[in-house]
Chains A and B, each alone.
Chain A
Amino acid sequence: MLEKQLQLIRSNNRIASTEIISQIITDFTEIHGDRVLGDDPAITTGIGFLSDIPVTILAVNRGKTMIEHQRFNGGQVRVSGYRKALRVVEAAEKFNRPVISLIDMPGADASVDSENHGQSQAIADLIDKMGALTVPNLALFVGEGHSGGALALSNANRILMLEAALFSVASPEAVAAIITTNDDVSEYLPMTSSQLEKIGINDETILENDRLIVNIKQALLKHIQELKLIPRDSLPMDRSDKFNRILATWNTGE
């Protein structure tokens, strides 16, 4: 079951984050580079209009062709990518623009450069900044999103997931290797859109029918309009409340 789902979301036919941008965002203007190290093509950042609302977009690209896979590092965001996202998000806060993350990333960039450039620090800084934002932020899981990098992009007021998307502590393969099981790990660990909706992580599952793009646009608009009613200073609290509510359901034996 999970295996089929992984095939589906990792296939070259899966809708890409950049395709979503081109179909729902007008006047999209890409912003390049972290102004320190470089410009990570694995994450496209920029601004544009969603309907008539100016928004900031953070979109992870996995790539559809061999060449794209290579260029985008298969969606494994590098340090300069997190740094680019951080600076774009800081600008969003200045100009009171909601932030939308489009997530499709398999996990950490396991490389010497990422470690030497401070991958841990870059992820921690983005998690922290997203949590503190005084503009609304929303995350849409397009394909899979695992580990700290995906969390950095989804530490948000609202999390939405396409039906087949996955959000997990690590890739299902990595989880299975560590807890040494041959079972389908989603039998134990909630990671699918319906499982995560049940425990309050996923706020809305977006149906993958022939109106997919319309569904995405309507859902994003609805949630942004709701979030715009919350006073800016209360947005960090709204965000931490969301995650605290989820964790409160965990029995700590007290």
Chain B
Amino acid sequence: MSHSPAKGTWNKCPFCHVHVNQLEWGFYKQCPHCHHYLRLTAQQRINQVVDKNSFKQLELNMTTLNQLKVPEYDDKLAKAKDKSGLTEAMVIGTAQIKSQRVMLGVMDTNFMMGTLNTTVGEIIKQLYFEAAKHKLPVVLFIASGGARMQEGIYSLLQMNTILNAKRNFDQSKQVSINVLTDPTMGGVSASFAFEGDFVIAEKYTQIGFAGRRVIETISTEKLPIEFQDADHLKQHGLLDDVIERSEMADYIGRILKLHQEESSC
């Protein structure tokens, strides 16, 4: 008979490698030793930032197909669906944050590292379209390794076409708040992630265009630990602010309040 604890009771913190009991991670999934955050599923993120039971998912009847017949892509998609319980790497819908209605989009790294493909791109364009139509602010939680290689140039062309949708949305004069969460990289970083009225990051987030390993290989210099970290980007003037997870809902609520149209009386 085994005296080992049930599987999942303890996990190793991916940052400081100390074993942490599941109860110690708490609601915000923060390591009690090094204070880093675990990556969240889309559902966990929604639970943390929106008013209770206010999220109404916008279901889009789309399925990602391996149209270019890239080896192993079907397999990867099937595994990603299993792991995440989602049909793609992004969930969108309407929600209330501190009693204010928004169009919310949340990316999930459990689905192929939140990579941008035709389906994810289409979902984001739909989000901007719906937000413009209903005159709602946009709140985007971004988490992505970049463009999804398996869809080649079709993934790349999401970068410019999403920005076209964003420009149409901007005509509605609603505020857009982009929250960069771990990781925000590559083609996502270099397109819609950095195009918002507010671009903030969750603390301890890795943000960049080229990957750290790629840069290390090429530059041969040892990169400092804080390189591509949210606070480091803020110091370089690239982010409006860096926010702790527990402060996120309050921060977004405040920005939304500051952009409410004055009621005519």
Q: Pick the contact of A123 from B63, B158, B190 — CB < 8 Å?
A: B190
Q: Are A253 and B153 in contact (CB under 8 A)?
A: no
List the B side residues contacting A96 at CB < 8 Å: none
Which residues of B have CB within 8 Å of A132? Answer: 167
Contact residue range for chain A? Answer: 35 or more
Determine if A128 and B195 form an interchain contact, defined as CB atoms under 8 angstroms apart: yes
Does A189 contact B153, Cβ atoms closer than 8 Å?
A: yes
Q: Judging by beta carbons under 8 Å apart, are B236 and A118 in contact?
A: yes
How many chain B residues sit at the interface, stated as a range, is 35 or more
Q: Which chain B residue shows the least CB distance to A189? A: B152
B161 engages A243 (CB within 8 Å): yes
Residues of B with C-beta under 8 A to A168: 152-153, 156
| Known interface pairs A116-B236, A169-B155; A128-B167 also in contact (CB < 8 Å) | yes
Nearest residue (CB) in B for A195 is B153
Contacts A112-B223, A120-B194 hold; do A147 and B156 have CB atoms under 8 A apart?
Answer: yes
Separation of A131 and B168 alpha carbons in the complex (Å): 12
Interface locus among A15-23, A52-60, A244-252: A244-252
Across the interface, which residues of A come within 8 angstroms of B190, CB to CB?
Answer: 119-120, 123-124, 127, 148
A187 to chain B, nearest CB (A): 9
Q: Give the docked Cα–Cα distance between A118 and B221 (Å).
A: 20
Report if B263 contacts A (CB, 8 A). Answer: no
Interface flag for B143 (CB, 8 Å): no
Chain B residues positioned under 8 Å from A229 (CB to CB): none
Cα distance A201–B194 when bound, in Å?
26
From residue 51 to 106 of chain B, which have CB atoms closer than 8 A to chain A?
61-65, 67-73
Residue of chain A at shortest CB distance from B208: A115
Instruction: Name the A residues within 8 Å of B127 (CB-CB).
Output: none
Of A3-11, A38-46, A178-186, the one contacting chain B is: A178-186
A-B contact pairs, 28 of them (CB 8 A): A110-B210, A110-B219, A111-B210, A112-B215, A119-B190, A119-B208, A120-B193, A120-B208, A123-B191, A124-B192, A127-B163, A131-B160, A131-B164, A147-B156, A148-B186, A167-B153, A168-B153, A169-B147, A169-B155, A175-B152, A179-B73, A188-B69, A188-B71, A189-B70, A191-B152, A246-B154, A247-B118, A253-B64
